[in-house]
Amino acid sequence: MYRRLISRLSFVGGMLMLLGPWAGFTSAVVDDVALTAQTRQQITAIESIPLTLPVMVGSAASPIVKMEITATGSQKPLSITKVTASIVGEGAETEFHSVQLFCSGSDSTFRNATQFGESQATGTGKLHAFNGKQQLAEGQNYIWLAGQLKENVDIDRMVAAEIDSITFSNGEIKSFAVDPSVQRLAVSVRDAGDDGVHTYRIPGLATTNQGTLIAVYDVRRRSGGDLPGDIDVGMSRSIDGGRTWQPMKIIMDMGDDPDWRYDGVGDPAVLVDRNTGTLWVAGTWSHGNRSWHGSGPGLTPDQTGQLMLVRSDDDGVTWSEPINITHQVKRPEWCFLLQGPGKGITLHDGTLVFAAQYQDPPNPDDAKAHRLPHSTIIYSKDHGNTWHVGAGAFDDTTESQVIEIEPGVLMLNCRYNRGSVRVVMTTDDLGKTWRQHSTSQRSLIEPGSCMASLIDVDREVGADVGNWLLFSNPDSTRGRHHLTIKASPDRGLTWPDSHRLLLDEGASAGYSCMSMIDNKTVGILYEGSRSQLTFQRIAISDLVSEQSPSP
């Protein structure tokens, strides 16, 4: 009976009509119904997808290899039943606690991946086999090889791996001969939940005269939002070049009264006085709602945000009580003045310089001029006893970084709130006047406003190691991803494609800060996709050489 009914379904003029003896009893039609013959599922493509993500020391699972399997047809769906994979490199297998396989279905990110089956011993540490059952959907399907590194692994090394074969439920075995996927190692300096903290953000990084690395950052205790809020400035210290980090210390805490929005302080920048060895950290204090949107004209804490400093004279072991320099540097008519987060510098003549930013007075009659921000600098010529401020460098710029490109000449590299490009300005009179650099709004992109890092390699190490400048930020105009270091061989005039190194392709908050560890190695602390504050050691030769590094 059902077969007879189905046999009398017919298309007439694009409409499904009911024919036969029942036709007189109904006027119902189904408009624009497409009947497609279902086909048996088959594999049409398997591809190794290039991947660049930091492999985190101590993480339970860091992705190393990514494969894309394309299937067509939905009848009798196939399943993955076995995968074999190899760890590449002499002795590399001994650096892993475990190696796992994950599937993320049609999601091309590792974010929602689930572990596939069980690992089976193969008789060799390099080769791993995984048995299980993962049904394929029509379209793209993704599998990942991931690993858990041992805690004592050398983060200067890289790891490499490959997926060798995939077995499907129809008995078909696909084998591959592709180059292994090579990933750099990293450590998490801070991540969500550490010490009960919701979010860590806004990295600053500097190397002291003793070779100690000092990392500073926002400790956002209750949420991930900016000031105002329950935020303190944290500091982590490393005496082995960033391989390990001492427990966090809170070096700025202005109170926790909920009636005053917890008196948050944040957006830190760190500076090393190269002549005295003193360390300085700047932060902005919001007494109540006295931050980017709530700060106003005036000088007192109940009117406007406060520019605070702390200092250390013992290589970051202990820190002073906060020092308020708002009255020294802020003009009363400005709405807000704060440091540019990241790091400051010592000039050839001993002047200390932080990048900074201020907001113009309120102007409700002119939207473009209302609280308009400008990047600038604050500086001290007496080792931090007194501080001064420069003039605005460029309209609607914030969160800049500063270097000295020649004695007495400063370059300010600025976040630009009106476009996906960096504004670059120079001054030879400590910010009294500014000129646009030839590369301004041309050479360096950004994802529609984001903090970046800029350092002078020679100046940081105190030696001639090639006259390189380094710049880091998300290398994108559409989102904060693809965190990249770029190197300039000519003091920032050009940034060749051959001197660019991708560190983390994943989406993140995107801020970063660099510091030279020694003549051959740069350290970078950044907001990564695998950890909120990720640290990596990068050989300068990997940036300035056109050869790809080996595992």
Q: Are 350 and 275 in contact (CB under 8 A)?
A: yes
Q: What letter represents residue 391's amino acid?
A: A
By DSSP bridging, strand 181-190 and strand 15-18 are unpaired
Q: Distances from the Cα of 342 to the Cαs of 203, 270, 271, 315, 395, in angstroms?
A: 6, 7, 9, 18, 21
In 3-state terms, what secondary structure has residue 3? helix
Contacts of 503 (CB under 8 A, 6+ apart): 52, 54, 184, 483, 484, 485, 524, 526, 528, 536, 538
Q: Are 143 and 101 in contact (CB under 8 A)?
A: yes
Q: What letter represents residue 401's amino acid?
A: Q
End-to-end, the C-alpha distance of the chain in Å comes to 68
Q: Which helix (H) or strand (E) holds 402?
A: strand 397-406
Contacts of 326 (CB under 8 A, 6+ apart): 299, 304, 306, 307, 337
Q: Identify the active-site residue in 93, 95, 162, 399.
A: 399
Is 505 catalytic? The answer is no
Q: Distances from the Cα of 382 to the Cαs of 125, 226, 337, 387, 403, in angstroms?
A: 60, 33, 21, 8, 19
In 3-state terms, what secondary structure has residue 24? helix
Q: Which helix (H) or strand (E) holds 436?
A: strand 435-436
Per-residue three-class SS string for 269-316: EEEECCCCCCEEEEEEEECCCCCCCCCCCCCCCCCCCEEEEEEECCCC
- Buried (b) or exposed (e) across 539-551, using 16+ Cβ within 10 A? ebebbbeeeeeeb
Q: Are 163 and 64 in contact (CB under 8 A)?
A: no
**Residues annotated as catalytic (active site), given as ranges:** 399
